[in-house]
Amino acid sequence: MERTNAGEIAGGRAARVSAITDGGRGPGSGPGAPGPTGPGALTAADRERQRGVRRMKGIATGALLLMAVIFGLATWAGNSGAGAWTGYVAAAAEAGMVGALADWFAVTALFRRPMGLPIPHTAIIPTKKDQLGQSLGDFVGENFLSSDVVRTRLRAVGIGSRLGGWLAEPAHAERVTAELSTALRGALAVLRDTDVQAVVGEAVTRRADAQEIAPGLGSMLERVVADHGHRRVVDLVCVRAADWLEEHGDSVMDAVAGGAPGWTPRFVDRKVGERVYRELLRFVTEMRDMPDHPARGAVDRFLTDFAADLQTDPETRAKVERLKSEVLGRPEVQQLIASAWGAVRSMIVAAAEDEGSELRVRARSALLSLGQRLAGDDRLQGKVDTWVEDAAVYVVTTYRDEITSLITETVASWDAEHTSKKIEAHIGRDLQFIRINGTVVGALAGLAIHTVAHLLGG
């Protein structure tokens, strides 16, 4: 009767261990579970852990055999009349054996079927791997991917203050600048020039087609004329025209003479050509040297009227739009727009590679300035913390199901046998201590029960 009670206590202990692990919250979901890459072939570290597990199994099994030997000797001594003490020793040894066997069953049932018997609720990890993965995903989603948890944790970290203090160090700012430069060069290297050129060309053309340019040109021309900004252009044209006429007088006279009727005498054609050349040269020279020349005023009036027509005259605006479309449609213009990307790309890559370039110097200075402001401005720190919190909360609330399904699907894709072996390699050593503890606790419980029963029985 006394030995039966001890066995029931040890058996109840084993049942509780089995019930806990069967609920999906046992060692399979603890820190020893395989990583997200899945358990493949056992690594050298896993094999070393397995050797440690085997050693602990030997010790636990040795404790069971020791209890069996003690029980046998105590029973033999009691039957031989050695004394009442043998009953205490036999009760302790028997309860120790029951505790050891019960815990052996509970531990073994986690990874395989004990002795290959199809006992219900055994081989829990291989058979309920998918349920454990689902439970792990739900646990992570409920306890780690909630908005309150994320906000509380990030607020305690103080990202704005830490980031500011870190960036305020010149070495750190230089490191970030170098990393950004490397990332920029990598991004530009990945992009295909033809694709970018096509996108740039299409964007420029579409933007130009969608925007009427005549009113803008008219407004700009009106301001230029009002500020007399066009006069330098007129001066330049007059100077270049006068110089050209002085150098190419014969060409002008030949052109005039060549356009005369065939029946006129040549000397008359020559005289007319010389007259036209002198008058033309005089006109251009006077216009060059006289700021108040009537022709200059005519140019001013023409440009003023043209600026007004560009803004208000429908016919003029329509002509400008047609001209714009013709210009943009020319292959040379499209090639020029597309080739601009190559120049920009080369310029950016060169600036990113040169540590002393203006781009990197300005980026480094901007990062240092940002770090100093973040380190000393509580208001800015609060803004950064809020931005980070909002972004993190958006991610976890929007993609919580995707994250937890990743855990669940990854665990489901693992091989059951490899998963069981890998988990056992990680936590099996600790589980063998359960068997040893069960042996010791069972023996003490059996001894206590036998003692109490003996005292009550008188």
Residue 161: both structure tokens together:
């203050």
Contact (CB, 8 A) for 341 and 181: no
- Which residues have a Cβ under 8 Å from the Cβ of 36 and sit 6 or more positions away? 406, 407, 410
Q: Which 8-state DSSP code applies to residue 25?
A: I
Q: State the angle between helix axes of 214-226 and 314-329 in degrees (0 to 180), rounded to the nearest 10.
A: 110
Its pTM stands at: 0.48
Three-class SS of residue 11? helix
Arithmetic mean of pLDDT, 145-166: 86
Q: Which 8-state DSSP code applies to residue 31?
A: T
Q: What is the pLDDT of residue 23?
A: 38
Q: What is the pLDDT of residue 24?
A: 38
- Which residues have a Cβ under 8 Å from the Cβ of 285 and sit 6 or more positions away? 242
Residue 106: both structure tokens together:
């509970």
Contact (CB, 8 A) for 410 and 31: no
Residue position matching structure tokens 């029963």: 453
Report the residue count for the chain: 458
Q: How far apart are CA 147 and CA 154, in angstroms?
A: 11
Q: What are the tens digits of pLDDT across the range 19-57?
A: 333 433 344 444 444 444 444 456 788 788 888 888 988
Q: What are the tens digits of pLDDT across the range 284-321?
A: 888 888 888 888 888 888 888 888 888 888 888 888 88
Give yes or no for residue 14 having a pLDDT over 80. no
Q: How far apart are CA 113 and CA 452, in angstroms?
A: 37
Q: How far apart are CA 34 and CA 450, in angstroms?
A: 45
Tell me the H-state helices in 158-192: 159-167, 170-190
Contact (CB, 8 A) for 256 and 276: yes
Q: What are the tens digits of pLDDT across the range 402-435?
A: 888 888 887 777 777 777 787 888 888 888 888 8
Q: State the angle between helix axes of 266-289 and 249-258 in degrees (0 to 180), rounded to the nearest 10.
A: 130
Q: Cα angle at 48 between 47 and 49, to 5 degrees?
A: 90
Give yes or no for residue 370 having a pLDDT over 70. yes
Q: What is the pLDDT of residue 67?
A: 93
Q: What is the pLDDT of residue 243?
A: 86
Q: What are the tens digits of pLDDT across the range 55-98?
A: 988 999 999 999 999 999 999 998 888 888 898 999 999 999 99
- Rounded percentage of the chain residues whose pLDDT exceeds 70: 87
Burial of residue 328 (number of CB atoms within 10 Å: 0-12, 13-18, 19+): middle
Task: Pick the closest to residue 34 from 339, 411, 296 (CA basis).
Answer: 411
Q: What is the pLDDT of residue 375?
A: 86
Q: What is the pLDDT of residue 260?
A: 61
Give yes or no for residue 114 having a pLDDT over 60. yes
Contact (CB, 8 A) for 95 and 442: yes
